[in-house]
Structure 1
């Protein structure tokens, strides 16, 4: 069934209502201008029962999926324009019901649905809580139809939007967790993990943390799995993560936070099968903990050298593998160092601390005191040099003055030489 050159025009509400009713009637295959749907609409209009008209239209929304693609966006926009006239009390329910009917079959007319939902989103006030519902629908359709790229550029603005929408904490949590799950389905693992952390951060120690236990465990596992995550301190500070204490996943997190290869192997021996049960790879874990072990070793030798032998022992590798691991740690931006193949040493210029505890603060304080004393010594040397230079200038001036000699000539005249 096709309709050609259908035009939807602006006009008074009654004109728009009759135009929409006529289109729905056509989609239903009813007689033109005489079908039951049009008759019902006209009867409700005569009785001034607009709210019932709106409900009737929303109930018929699903049939819009039968509209030709080139008309789909226009007819749905017309519906949005009509529903704007509903009372503030019924408008939210009408919009939500129209969304549900529209996205019932997520795989039909995905591009057209995304367009009309984006139009709907833009017609709503920036502070409208309904934007939350529309965004969730857009996210759902986009991820199920491999159109996730259409919303990725908007995700950085989500934190601002949830404040503008004035939605509840529970809705914020649901949104962040939904976004995380949808991104994971679409293969956007790192972005998914970031939103999972946003979800976990909405909980405080006064909340029921047990409801987020599964998500917290997932966050730890993903952090260990993702090659680009090499810092775990912020993760450990979350109340939802702290609630995992006494569990194997929490103990493993502490190893990756500040432990070394030896401690990781102790964990594996003490908790047989735990790594596999958590869905992790022992091989990948071992690689990451070696990188972190070398980073910790380097932080103890900043501005000094580490021998190949020391590194090989800490990482439990052969000495001829040391350079490869050093390059990997440098590429991960954990350290800055130079390899001396002749001396078989690594000169560490900079290293990133995995945790910054009181010990690190004390080391930093000691270094600052050392620099302060060095600067004071340099300033004293400069001051002494200035005094020496001033004395030298004075002596030079005195010497120049004494060079004027008076000689009495035979003729009684004075000559200067």
Structure 2
């Protein structure tokens, strides 16, 4: 877990702390004077930060952590109006740590800085941006970013501008795309959601990245929502939009036809044809399952263009995804479908959901009526029993 503890303040004035740091870096061969700056603590910090990376060379990680923490301790005392350039310079230095162990130390120092800045400080955005960069270097991105909601929660008191968030989402997509394609796709969708009708036309590159990421992600199957994003709409008529439409609602045969005519385009987007085939077979099976509650192995062979010996392993893979609930009848060479996730969720699916809810409501009303009848009958029985007991009591007397 990445350290998020407070900065450590030593029992010296800020100026004396700065002078100690000057002496330390001077002893390492840095081109810096040991004397305090006559221009004040901010100038001291600028000069110290300018040479602080000298300790990265052959330095002990624990010692480096203490030195960087001392710099952070001074830095957080600088007023906002005079501290922006200092913070940015420090962040830039730490993103250039040469090795993974040192990158982890730099990540810890940036966390300290981030957590010791006022929550209302706009500088927290810049520190977090560099945190993500350093986290990528030491494979600690999940310690810094876990979800879009978590990200937004970091900046409740001082939300970044729309342009800043777009920059952040692009960075996150870049660092996640090779290790967590599902989360990268969510980030890119969030990025496209920041565009309006007025500026959606300038988001072409982001929209294309979003589509490619979603198509390449082996765990993303509900692609229909992408078509409603404004930047994606501006791609209508282009090959990338046509390809997305195939994945949204067409069958495997349509993809194979597209690939035959646009093989170079698919390859140029960084998409793997075999992975596309695998995904389209799953999507095609889902679409078939919506229509046919029962399918033969021969039907699947034909629709999915697979060999006879591949049918059973394919069905097992489908069941693992939990996209479809089904039972395989190996003796009769059939598949019995009990439920499936819809590839698209438009007006027909909403109507189906509405009908199911109405049926559920009516069934509840029937159950409620039955319970009332049972309760009334029990009450009547109790009244009669009570009357009989009272009669017997009177006769005994």
Residue 290 (structure 1) aligned to one of 275, 278, 281: 281
Identify the residue that residue 332 of structure 1 maps to in structure 2.
321
Identify the residue that residue 24 of structure 2 maps to in structure 1.
23
Q: Distance in 1 between matches of 2:66 and 2:115?
A: 15
Q: Does 1:159 align with 2:148?
A: no
Map 1:111-130 onto structure 2 (within 5 A). 111-130=104-123
Secondary structure of the residue that 1:89 maps to in structure 2? helix
Q: Which has the higher contact order (CA 8 A, sep 6+)?
A: 2
Secondary structure of the residue that 2:154 maps to in structure 1? helix
Q: Distance in 2 between matches of 1:68 and 1:374?
A: 71
Q: Distance in 2 between matches of 1:283 and 1:82?
A: 55
Secondary structure of the residue that 1:347 maps to in structure 2? strand
Kept in 2: contact 1:8–1:75 (CA 8 A)? no
Identify the residue that residue 195 of structure 1 maps to in structure 2.
187
Kept in 2: contact 1:299–1:353 (CA 8 A)? yes
Q: Go from structure 1 to structure 2 and tell me whether the alpha carbon gap of 1:50 and 1:368 turns closer, same or farther (over 3 Å shift).
A: closer
Q: Go from structure 1 to structure 2 and tell me whether the alpha carbon gap of 1:69 and 1:324 turns closer, same or farther (over 3 Å shift).
A: closer
Identify the residue that residue 342 of structure 2 maps to in structure 1.
353
> How big is the alpha-carbon RMSD for the aligned residues of Structure 1 and Structure 2?
3.6
Q: Which of 247-256 and 116-125 deviates more?
A: 116-125
Which deviations, in whole Å up to 9, do the C-alpha atoms of 1:351-383 show, x marking residues without a partner?
Answer: 211112222333445556667778889999x79
* Aligned residue-pair number: 367
TM-score, structure 2 as length reference: 0.78
Residue 306 (structure 1) aligned to one of 268, 289, 295: 295
Which deviations, in whole Å up to 9, do the C-alpha atoms of 1:147-198 show, x marking residues without a partner?
Answer: 546535587621212444421111111111112212335x333333332222
Q: Go from structure 1 to structure 2 and tell me whether the alpha carbon gap of 1:284 and 1:90 turns closer, same or farther (over 3 Å shift).
A: same
Residue 280 (structure 1) aligned to one of 271, 275, 288: 271
Name stretches of at least 5 consecutive residues in structure 2 with no aligned partner: 1-7, 382-397
Residue 87 (structure 2) aligned to one of 75, 88, 95: 95
Kept in 2: contact 1:334–1:351 (CA 8 A)? yes
Q: Which has the larger radius of gyration?
A: 1
Deviation at 1:19, TM superposition (A): 2.9
Deviation at 1:50, TM superposition (A): 4.3
Identify the residue that residue 220 of structure 1 maps to in structure 2.
211
Q: Distance in 2 between matches of 1:29 and 1:271?
A: 57
Kept in 2: contact 1:295–1:353 (CA 8 A)? yes
Kept in 2: contact 1:233–1:355 (CA 8 A)? yes
